[in-house]
Structure 1
Amino acid sequence: MYIRYFLFNLDDRVKVWIAVSTGGSAIYCVDPYLQAAMLGICLTLCLYCGARRFVAGFIIAVAALAVTTAIFACLPCLEGKTTGRGIFYILLKFGPMFAMMVFLQASLNTSRFLRSLECMRMPPQWVIPLGVCLRFMPSVAAECRQIRYAMRIRGVGLTPKRLVRRPFESVGYMLVPLLVRSLAIGDELARAAVARGIETPGAKTSLYDLGFCTKDAVVLAVWTMVLIILVVADHQIYAAIVGRMP
């Protein structure tokens, strides 16, 4: 509980830096053991932020893929073994990036993050579109869940059997309400922005008392140093492998 409270009270700029730097470092590294270590750290952060379903689903998918690869390894067919290892390598390389996206979704406070960008003197031409995207996508996801729930009540749920028998009709049942609700959500966001004085020139006040605390600086420095050590170790491992090649 304390770790979760600590993560949620970190500065949002530190959270974004943790997500971006970890995802980029995982893509840059080539050693599978270091990639697995980064993936374990990212899944642990997601677990502390409450994303247990994502962590459980990811672990089940990796376990199923490992079992499938082991089964294909016992067969004389080389293609199945190569395909399984390739998919497993893709999960190791891009898994931390998706895990960090879930971490941001679970822990990032959009209002505080946008306010912190304004305090950094970032131009409104960047802050406003970013704020619209960050607020629009969760609303659309919630509307999708409501539409699917309503479809199940009316007996027209998106089941595999229905998708095979009537694909266009089933997709239409989902897309038409989603498009209508998306227009309404966009209108609501525009009215909310006008009500908050987006058209008024000058500096804006905020309810959030933002500040870069000592713990934020310590976390930022420690996390950056750990990533630098991992990247340097990966480079040395790769150089040693290349040096042993004929």
Structure 2
Amino acid sequence: MAAIFSGGERPGRFRLDPRTKLCLLFIGNITVLLSPAIHYELLLVASILLLGLLCGVGRYCLKMTVVYFLLAAVQLLGTRYLDGFLQIFLVTFAVFLRKVFPCAMLGGILIATTRVNEFMAAMHRLRIPRSVAVPLAVTLRYFPMIKEEWKHVCDAMNMRGIGVSVWRFLQKPLKTTECIYVPILISAAKLADELAAAAVTRGIDNPQPRTCLQQIGFGMADGICIGWFLLLVMINLWGKGGGS
């Protein structure tokens, strides 16, 4: 059970401090909100893709980037060639998801490259209350486990002849929804209990100051990343003010 709570760090050229990743996630959200046009977002997405490649999660970021461009294409084609309710529905849906993807990419980098012990040590140095740090640490390990459960659910559905695809959903929407959500909800409740038990076993609720075998601290890579993302914010502010 303790192994479930272990981190999933991946090797890469950049070794960023967990506090830097949280800062980049915060700055990325601000950049998306301030983005005056899609080409400003493209610069942000390209920066996140480069960061993911350097941190060792390039495959994940490449997949997310492809989906991002597909959504941008849906928005562009829908605006040009559709009209009426269908245009409003598709374009609005594509824009909403497109805005979420850069932040999702940064969140995925944070989850995939940060061990729980590093994260807790960073929270301790930031003097974050345990009532906030502990749920965040459990959540950090919750998403990878849900991803594994999703694969198991898909395998089980394929064995029963119920594939997970858009066409299957259109054929049998209620059956497909039931076969997906019921196992996911049941496994989510079970995983929450297991993660909580594993966290207590590792002494996550120990009131004493935490120590970490792996040293964390700010370096040149942290400064470069934060500086570049702050520059993106300034570029978006400049564009929003009419500088473009």
- Please report the TM-score for the alignment, with normalisation by the length of structure 1: 0.73
Q: Which among 162, 171, 181 is matched to residue 187 of structure 2?
A: 181
Larger radius of gyration: 1
State the Cα distance separating 1:172 from its structure 2 match. Answer: 2.4
How large is the Cα RMSD of the aligned pairs? Answer: 3.6
Paired residue for 1:29?
35
Paired residue for 1:6?
13
**8 Å CA contact 2:17, 2:217 repeated in 1:** yes
Opposite residue 57 of structure 2, the aligned amino acid is G
Deviation string, structure 1 residues 94-153 (Cα, Å, up to 9, x no partner): 442232123223322233112221233321111111112222222122112111112212
Q: 1:236 to 1:15 in 2, by over 3 A?
A: closer
Q: 1:151-190 to 2 correspondence within 5 Å?
A: 151-190=157-196
Deviation string, structure 1 residues 17-53 (Cα, Å, up to 9, x no partner): 1222123223213254433222211122233433425
Larger RCO (CA within 8 A; separation ≥ 6)? 2
Q: 1:71-110 to 2 correspondence within 5 Å?
A: 73=80, 93-110=99-116
Q: Aligned pair 1:149/2:155, yes or no?
A: yes
How many pairs were matched up?
Answer: 232
Q: Which runs of 5+ in 2 are unaligned?
A: 1-10
**8 Å CA contact 1:65, 1:84 repeated in 2:** no
Q: In 2, distance between residues paired with 1:174 and 1:93?
A: 26
Q: Which runs of 5+ in 1 are unaligned?
A: none
Q: In 2, distance between residues paired with 1:67 and 1:159?
A: 19
* 193-202 or 15-24, which deviates more: 193-202
Q: In 2, distance between residues paired with 1:178 and 1:151?
A: 12
Q: In 2, distance between residues paired with 1:67 and 1:140?
A: 29
**8 Å CA contact 1:46, 1:102 repeated in 2:** no
- Please report the TM-score for the alignment, with normalisation by the length of structure 2: 0.74
**8 Å CA contact 2:19, 2:122 repeated in 1:** yes
Q: 1:46-61 to 2 correspondence within 5 Å?
A: 46-48=52-54, 49-52=56-59, 54-56=61-63, 58-59=65-66
